[in-house]
Amino acid sequence: MKIAVCVKQVPEAAHLRIDPGSKRLDRSGEGALNAFDSNAVEEALRLKDATGDGEVVLVSLGPAKAQDALRKALAMGADRAILISDEGAAGSDLIATSYALAKALERESPDLVLFGQQAGDSDGAVLWAAVAERLHRPVVSQAAELSHADGKLTVKRQTEFGYDVIEAPLPAVVAVSDAINEPRYPSLKGIMGAKSKPQETLSLGDLGVEPERAGEEGSKTEVYGLNDPPARGDSQKIEDDGSAAEKIVEYLAGKRLV
């Protein structure tokens, strides 16, 4: 089975900021593999191991240095990586991003496309559904268990109300929950081996993405401005010295909550 895993490089938590000029996320600092994506990579590797053959291909859209994040996923065991990197793609929103990714996925034509449950920088948790729509493939999200037999996926989906079991024929798109597995750490051998795995960089032109459907021009949302968040009020943090319970009651009494 050929599995494509869509992954993203995100700024490291300590460097998360929005550039006041462009009003975009500042991607100039250190980057890392989006933590939620490692669950998707892990699940792809498990599915590949279970079937005994197949290929795990990483697909990403991002700046050139996103190759570093891809190398980490290659070190986990993925076979090769494709990075769509193009100045013209900067500032792409959901509509533009899903279009470019769908073009790359059409070119690869995998049996299964996996996503992690969320992007750690933008908190986006919808991309898979837009990509599935563009590819005209069935989609299941919040997968807490995933198995495959006879060209069919069985997915245990976790919702607000409990578990649903959903079956979908391949090819399909699945977004996994971070409860699905415990991602492996790359071994030293994996890290060394990753350097020689194929890493391809593609431009929008290579994929046939029209310039007007990418980047800011191809986006249908925009940012007007940045403001201070609504105040949560004064928050306090105390250490328990044996009197924390009393302090909590005092605090709650002050707010007439007890």
Q: Which of residues 126-185 bind another protein (CB under 8 A)?
A: 126-134, 136-142, 154, 157-169, 172, 177-179
User: Tell me, what DSSP letter sits at residue 107?
Assistant: H
User: In this chain, which of 16, 50, 64, 192 binds another protein, going by CB under 8 A?
Assistant: 16
User: Tell me, what DSSP letter sits at residue 16?
Assistant: -
Contacts of residue 168, Cβ cutoff 8 Å, sequence gap at least 6 = 138, 140, 152, 153, 155, 174
For another protein, the binding residues in 58-97 under the rule CB under 8 A are 93-95
Q: Which is nearer to another protein, 158 or 199 (CB)?
A: 158
Cα separation, 237 vs 246, in Å, equals 14
For another protein, the binding residues in 203-222 under the rule CB under 8 A are 219-222
**In whole angstroms, how close is the CB of 80 to another protein at the nearest point?**
27
For another protein, the binding residues in 18-37 under the rule CB under 8 A are 18, 23
Cα distances (angstroms) measured from residue 245 to each of 3, 120, 182, 234, 251: 53, 35, 36, 19, 10
**In whole angstroms, how close is the CB of 63 to another protein at the nearest point?**
19
Q: Which is nearer to another protein, 67 or 141 (CB)?
A: 141
Residue 48 burial (CB count, 10 A)? 19
User: In this chain, which of 54, 79, 80, 122 binds another protein, going by CB under 8 A?
Assistant: 122
Structure tokens at 238: 């105390």
Cis before 183 (ω within 30): no
Q: Which is nearer to another protein, 71 or 134 (CB)?
A: 134
**In whole angstroms, how close is the CB of 52 to another protein at the nearest point?**
26
Give phi and psi for 220, each to the nearest 5.
-110, 10
| Count of residues of this chain found to bind another protein when the rule CB under 8 A is applied | 80
User: In this chain, which of 14, 149, 188, 257 binds another protein, going by CB under 8 A?
Assistant: 257
First to last CA, the chain: 59
Q: Which is nearer to another protein, 199 or 219 (CB)?
A: 219
- Quick one: which H or E segment has residue 6? strand 2-6
Structure tokens at 62: 């991002």
Q: Which is nearer to another protein, 70 or 139 (CB)?
A: 139
**53 is a contact residue toward another protein (CB under 8 A):** no
